[in-house]
Chain A
């Protein structure tokens, strides 16, 4: 936590070290939640700058920094998704990075992204944290401020829904062979 204290005192290298240590999983989480690289970048930037603001609610004695930052990313992402939905947009399709791999791999990647993107918000965030970021269930519970049992339940429902969605795709693939 000395790094954060130093960053708040104006030490830029300490601030950058904090960023270097934490930004990758936060960026991936934001990207998978929003499906947008620019949004993910903005969210991560806002979350790190938020640590420097006097009104920042982070309390090191209660929450590890990583957990706090995951929560901050999640809140920002939801805010963006809701404002997008409010503006008439849907979050049905998930933008995927430019295709540099072969067509089949891209198609599969898009299909998985789309399937995860179509999960209800409460299930999607749990699945992303648990599967992609390997965050322990107890920590996810802290991030989302819910009980561990609720995390388990959401994760199970997310996985069941994905099995159903993706099984149809796999079956279709096999039928084509």
Chain B
């Protein structure tokens, strides 16, 4: 073998390109004391996040009708699909102001011929989960046998977030019951005096996405994200086919960069800065020298082109397990809650 032949052989060994996430990791690791910090706003609160074994979405908003949030997902079973809708609610609706700040942890998956998952409220300050596990097994006549069991927090620990919280026992574990397609099955999460927080579970062979949405869809400050595709500096970096989020704030997390929260109304929160516009099925903004665009399958806001306000929450990474390299999409309540001085416009 001569030198030329050796060189040709050596050239067969390519090295991979550097992943874009490395640049993001480096940015995130740029020393905080060296970085010019615009806002020293601590994040005290996450209103919603989803841990999904199937297609899932979380929608959240302060809507004044007792609804805290909704989760939609689906589980593939042999020969059929089970669509799941779980809505956490509070009664009386006024108590929404107290419970609306809690996080939502939900999941859906399948095993042994049944849809299985969990649904919980996460009280970060009290480090408590109020939740349960469920199983929905298709039975004759298009119905489902629903079984509820206590929440195993280990399932949450295995998700994407760093979670340290205990488990608040349910007021009562309901007995297994057969429900018709789409029929509501309520599970109490918390009960004290006249105050009741509960989850409304519904199972169906058809998707719930086509069902009428809560009134918040018409609210002028609501943003909606359906089947989002995320672009960073013109390159697609993430997508969530089938994903659907809705709320006063939308957000996405990129590994190493933290979370970008997007709102139509900054709600007097100075951490949110005007950074771009939303128009039809797309929104676009520029922050920290990078340009981001989200394309969706449906309009993201009502009306024509509107300004959007963005808060780059770098500290969010500390809440996500380091090994989670994937992007995460989600939604949250009004922008004001991110510095703890909420003055909702509703």
Contact = CB atoms under 8 A, between A and B. Distances in A.
B19 interface: yes
Interface string B285-323: 000110000000000000000000000000000000000
Contacts of A116: 10, 13
Interface in A41-58: 41, 44-45, 48-49, 52
Nearest to B288: A12
B34 interface: yes
Contacts of B206: none
B34 A8 contact: yes
Consensus secondary structure, chain B interface = loop
A118 B18 CA distance: 24
Interface in B1-57: 1, 3, 5-7, 9-10, 12-19, 22-23, 25-27, 29-31, 33-36
Interface stretch (A72-80, A85-93, A105-113, A144-152): A105-113
A176 to B, nearest CB: 17
Interface residues of A, number: 38
A44 to B, nearest CB: 7
A167 B26 CA distance: 42
Given A27-B15, A44-B22, A132-B10, 15 more contacts: A8-B34, A10-B34, A19-B26, A23-B23, A24-B18, A48-B26, A49-B29, A49-B30, A49-B31, A108-B9, A108-B12, A113-B13, A163-B1, A166-B1, A166-B6
A37 interface: yes
Given A27-B15, A166-B1, A131 B10 contact: yes
A24 to B, nearest CB: 6
Nearest to A20: B23
B15 A31 contact: yes
B22 A10 contact: no
Interface in A75-134: 96-97, 105, 108-109, 112-113, 116, 131-132
